[in-house]
A and B are shown apart, each in its own frame.
Chain A
């Protein structure tokens, strides 16, 4: 049986065969997809940032840093990643608490922790450490988890999510929360439970409303009726829809988007860059871009199915799905399907921290895929 299992794994891993890439612990399809996406991202940023070379250089530097982090993480054996998970999680919680106590305020929200040599956003690392911790915790025992462990896992998720939401950073809290939720989902919790949780969440909606900050409520209201405040909070969505709609099937052409270049579209090189792509490249361009994303997500899910142990599976699966949530929340917001939540378009939006986090998560996926043991634990 052992031998058979071993062989099966080998046969399903053609990438393993290629010597140099295997030695570097790199998954070629994933790397190709990520490099393509980053390249397209730079091209669009050149247009969205009004040909500002400084912007491009900074983004290039971040991408370089992110890819280096990805390669570095790919070298670490999944067993080590697993071993470090609880510690990283605990350190993260401490940091979140210190952000709330001593954090610096940026754009009206406490998110940054100044460590002296660098400004650090602890909430960001939970996008990685929470799925890691849940995967670690659930992989200790048989799946699906028993109720006690399920409740514990739920609490592990809830604590950082609430702390991040308190900062307040709804976007990151959402992404972190879905990361934990996906881990639980992939661990195989029963459908009955999922349905119950869904119903409870729906019931908690009004309660959440009560705890929301004023600007968060405003965003929800604006989402429901953007035309109610066309010059205030609704302006973003209205201008973004105009940009997308006026792009049509073929788009206005690269560097020719009037909505972005004449500065009608706010946040055009960060959160609303999706609208710039839609305006300049049209439906055709957007379909190509979405296909690229879909390829990366499916490759991630494939890697998850091929992972050797429960930890690897759950981690790889949830990280891939969090990547998808990034895409969906951002595109949903820009197209007016979802309320405005500060989530960047992964690998394309200008901005540092999330870029590095995302590439780091793909580093872990590569690590899981390229370090194979013969036996399941």
Chain B
């Protein structure tokens, strides 16, 4: 019994020992495998995991540059950046957007307009962008949100520089405005350069000079924890701030032009003849660009869009008007240049013109006619019949060729976005666009700046400057100097595209005729004659709607919006001209009585200021 027991005991003991040895061996083998795994991770793939670990903790943060400022020629600020607090929401981080907004509106006032603006901005922004629901918070509101902030995930008060246009309506169309980057813009911009930026120039100078104004994003390497909180800055590469722009624009002149337009809608473009610098570029009415920076409410936007005055429309570079009689000096010059008329060669004006073998009467604005007119009188008194004849003699091909030289029918390529080119009709154009041949009658009305002929106010001003410069054609430009962040200045380039040289006598004859428009006793703009300096100009009237044959145009009977547009182009002084101007007064009626005085006020302001400056310089 005992024997068996001991035998059993020894057997069991041996069996157990065997199992323990197997277990121990397994333990060691498994641990060796584990060490192998650790070797694989810590030695063989050490570099890989070190990189991942660095990626984890080191984040690149963009440092957005400060947008460049915009000044006028005398250093008056036109666009600046003001610090402002805004309440912003990242929709992706908010669990219930509607209730969040609801609860926020119990803490601070949020209007319906602001909520609808928020939802509109939400549709057109980038993912995880934070969207403002209230802008320009007061200190008290900031404090109230700070206390309740923990209740609202994804809601934050952001301090940022907000673009501000201190001149409000006065510079609307010229400067444009900045707004939040939308989906389409996202497709075209360099997203890394804009990684810290939420605003982008939408039109005007802000858009054309976007790359200079924006600057270059800086970067900082920061150590972050898993929640993304920045713990310390490892490396810092500061941004290159946006460049400041100094414009040719004279704010005083801009205000003068706006004021002079009075109740009328219209546009004024004035150019410094020596440089091509745009001194004034008014499109009236304007709107407050500051509304667009914050994101305009749908209601306010609709009001602007549906307004009959069309305030969103930049008339100065996008308004295409029939130039009317303002083209007469250019066509007269063409007549001289092609040697089809002499300056004093007379024709008879009976008050109408007829093509041979046709019944149709092309009427003069003066029903009973001008009698005997030469080129000078045809410009001074703006005789239509003379120009019907001259146009017919020249023919559309020569008209097209000559007027194109002054920039008609082409964009001026001013440094502004969205400029339209007007229309200088030609045989080719008509065949292309209308699939019709050119009719001789159409040449006649081109001769008085009507028909298909269209020009923008800036085009007219530019053509006038070229005329004043006797063919020295300088491309108009808005920006004068670019000031880099280190303070160094860079002049914007002057681009010259001179006309074929003409006989100098022809230039002085046309300029003489234009000065007679103002100085002559029968001049259509004699009311603006100045004793201080000499002005050369030309009035014009653009038909808004056509009157039937034999019907009379009665200003009183025609509703205001169908009244003719009044035009006036001018430059001054006649000798050594400095300023060229084009004025269009919508539904203003007559160029001489409505448009010319506006031009006079602007020129007065500019030239008197100029002389003042000369005096003070000398003193």
Instruction: Tell me the A residues contacting B by CB distance below 8 Å.
Output: 1, 142-144, 182, 185-186, 188, 239, 241-249, 258-259, 262-264, 278, 282-283, 286-287, 290, 293-294, 297-298, 301, 304-305, 310, 313-314, 317, 321, 324, 328, 331-332, 335-337, 376
- 8 Å CB contact of B53 from A258, A282, A317: A258
14 residue pairs bridging A and B, Cβ less than 8 Å apart: A142-B8, A142-B12, A243-B53, A244-B42, A259-B56, A263-B225, A283-B38, A290-B31, A297-B27, A301-B24, A304-B16, A305-B16, A313-B16, A331-B34
> B30 in the interface, Cβ–Cβ < 8 Å?
yes
Given A264-B56, A328-B34, output 19 extra A-B contacts at Cβ < 8 Å: A186-B16, A188-B15, A188-B19, A245-B41, A245-B45, A245-B46, A245-B48, A248-B50, A259-B56, A262-B223, A264-B225, A283-B39, A290-B34, A301-B23, A324-B27, A335-B37, A335-B38, A336-B37, A337-B34
- Verify B42–A283 contact, CB threshold 8 A: yes
- Residue in A closest to B22 when the chains form the complex, CB atoms: A185
Q: In the bound complex, do residue A249 and residue B43 qualify as a contact, i.e. CB atoms below 8 Å apart?
A: yes
Whether the Cβ atoms of B28 and A317 lie closer than 8 Å is no
Contacts of B23 in A (CB 8 A): 182, 185-186, 301, 317, 321
B38 touches A278 (CB 8 A): yes
Q: A264-B226, A297-B27 are in contact. Are A248 and B46 (CB under 8 A)?
A: yes
User: When A182-B23, A290-B34 are in contact, do A244 and B49 touch as well, CB less than 8 Å?
Assistant: yes
- Chain A neighbourhood of B224, CB < 8 A: 262
The answer to whether A242 touches B16 (Cβ under 8 A) is no
Known contacts A262-B223, A283-B43, A294-B31; A242/B52 CB under 8 A: yes
- How far, in Å, is B168 (CB) from chain A's closest CB? 48
* A185-B19, A317-B20 known; A328-B30 Cβ under 8 A: yes
Q: Could you tell me the distance in whole angstroms from the C-beta of A224 to the nearest C-beta in chain B?
A: 16
Taking a contact as CB atoms closer than 8 A, the residue among B17, B41, B225, B226 that contacts A244 in the complex is B41
Q: Is B392 positioned at the interface, with any CB of A under 8 Å from its CB?
A: no
- Kindly state whether residue B150 has any CB partner on chain A within 8 Å: no
Q: Out of A263, A294, A321, which one reaches B28, CB within 8 Å? A: A294
Cα separation A278 to B41 with both chains bound (whole Å) = 10
Q: How many of chain B's residues have a CB under 8 angstroms from any CB in A?
A: 40
- Which chain A residues border B9 with CB–CB below 8 Å? 376
Q: What residues on A are CB-neighbors of B231 within 8 Å?
A: 262
CB distance from A319 to the nearest CB of B (A): 12
Name A5's closest neighbour in chain B (CB-CB): B6
Task: Identify the 5 closest CB pairs spanning chains A and B, nearest first.
Answer: A245-B49, A246-B53, A263-B226, A262-B225, A188-B15
With A283-B38, A335-B37 already in contact, the answer to whether A246 and B46 are too (CB < 8 A) is yes
Q: Is the interface of A mostly helix, strand, loop or mixed?
A: helix
- Across the interface, name the chain A residue whose C-beta is closest to B49: A245
Q: Does B435 have its Cβ within 8 Å of any Cβ on chain A?
A: no
Chain B residues with CB under 8 Å of A310's CB are: 12, 16
Chain B residues within an 8 Å CB radius of A290: 31, 34-35
Q: Which residue of B lies closest to A279 (CB)?
A: B53
Name the B residues within 8 Å of A142 (CB-CB): 8, 12
Contact present for B41 and A335 (CB under 8 Å): yes
Q: Which residues of B contact A332 (CB under 8 A)?
A: 34
Q: Tell whether B227 is near chain A: CB-to-CB under 8 Å.
A: yes
Residue of chain A at shortest CB distance from B5: A376
Task: Please give, as numbers and ranges, the residues of chain A lying within 8 Å of B15 by CB-CB distance.
Answer: 143-144, 188
Chain B residues near A188: list those with CB within 8 A. 12, 15-16, 19
Residue of B nearest to A244 (CB): B41
Interface string of B188-228 (1 = CB under 8 A from A): 00000000000000000000000000000000000111110
Overall SS of chain B's interface: helix
Asked if B57 is at the interface of the complex by the 8 Å CB criterion, the answer is yes
Establish whether residues B46 and A263, one from each chain, have CB atoms under 8 Å apart when the complex forms.
no
B56 cross-chain contacts in A, Cβ below 8 A: 239, 242, 258-259, 262, 264
Decide: A259 and B42 in contact? CB cutoff 8 A: no
Complex Cα–Cα for A242 and B46 (A): 9
Chain B residues whose C-beta falls within 8 Å of the C-beta of A336 in the assembled complex: 37
A258-B56, A262-B231 given; A244·B38 CB < 8 A: yes
Q: How far is the CB of B331 from the nearest CB of chain A, in Å?
A: 73
B9 nearest CB across to chain A (Å): 5
Q: Is the CB of B52 within 8 A of A246?
A: yes
Bound CA–CA A297/B223 (angstroms):
42
Is A246 touching B12 in the complex (CB atoms < 8 A)? no
In the assembled complex, which residues on chain B have CB atoms less than 8 Å from the CB atom of A248? 42-43, 46, 50
Cβ of A117 to closest chain B Cβ, rounded Å: 37
* Residues of chain A contacted by B38 (CB below 8 angstroms): 244, 278, 283, 286, 335
- For the complex, what is the distance from the CA of A264 to the CA of B55, rounded to whole Å? 11
Closest A residue by C-beta to B23: A321
Which of A242, A278, A298 gathers most chain B CB within 10 Å? A242
B27 touching A321 by the CB < 8 A rule?
yes
Cβ contact within 8 Å between A247 and B42 = yes
The answer to whether A241 and B41 touch across the interface, beta carbons within 8 angstroms, is yes
Measured in the bound complex, the distance between the Cα atoms of B34 and A286 in whole Å is: 10
Measured CB to CB, the closest approach of chain A to B38, in angstroms, equals 6
Q: A259 contacts which chain B residues (CB < 8 A)?
A: 53, 56
Report chain B residues within 8 Å CB of A321: 23, 27
Q: With the chains together, A294 CA to B30 CA distance in Å?
A: 11
Partner of A245, one of B19, B20, B50: B50
Q: How far is the CA of A331 from the CA of B32 in the complex (A)?
A: 12
> Which B-chain residue is minimally distant from A257 (CB atoms)?
B53
The closest CB in chain B to the CB of A262 belongs to: B225
A101 to B368, CA, bound (A): 114
**A143–B56 alpha-carbon span in the complex (Å):** 57
Closest beta carbon of chain B to A12's beta carbon, Å: 13
CB-defined contacts of B43 to chain A, threshold 8 Å: 248-249, 283
Docked Cα-Cα span, A298 to B16, in Å, equals: 15
Inter-subunit contact A1/B20 (CB<8 Å) = no
Contacts of A293 in B (CB 8 A): 31
Q: Cα distance A336–B42 when bound, in Å? A: 13
How long is the Cα–Cα vector from A304 to B23 in the complex, in angstroms? Answer: 12
Q: How far is the CA of A76 from the CA of B416 in the complex (A)?
A: 96
Check A305/B20 contact, CB under 8 A, given A290-B35, A324-B27, A335-B34: yes
Closest to B14 in A: A188
Q: Chain A residues near B39: list those with CB within 8 A.
A: 283
Known: A142-B8, A244-B42, A249-B42. A298 touches B52 (CB 8 A): no
Interface string of B39-74 (1 = CB under 8 A from A): 101110110111011001100000000000000000
Q: Tell me which residues across on chain A come within 8 A of B223, comparing CB atoms.
A: 262
Q: Which residues of A contact B52 (CB under 8 A)?
A: 242, 245-246
Interface mask (B528-566 → A, CB under 8 Å = 1, otherwise 0): 000000000000000000000000000000000000000
Contact with A along B76-93 (1 / 0, CB 8 A): 000000000000000000
Report chain B residues within 8 Å CB of A335. Answer: 34, 37-38, 41
Q: Is the CB of A241 within 8 A of B49?
A: yes
- Minimal beta-carbon separation of A247 from chain B (angstroms): 6
Provide the B435-447 mask, 1 if CB < 8 A to any CB of A, else 0. 0000000000000
Which residue of the partner chain, among A1, A264, A278, A317, contacts B19 with CB atoms under 8 Å?
A317
The answer to whether A278 touches B42, judged by C-beta atoms less than 8 angstroms apart, is: yes
Q: A244-B41, A283-B38 are in contact. Are A186 and B226 (CB under 8 A)?
A: no
Which residues of chain B have C-beta atoms less than 8 A from A241's C-beta? 41, 49
CB neighbours (8 Å) of A278 from chain B are 38, 41-42
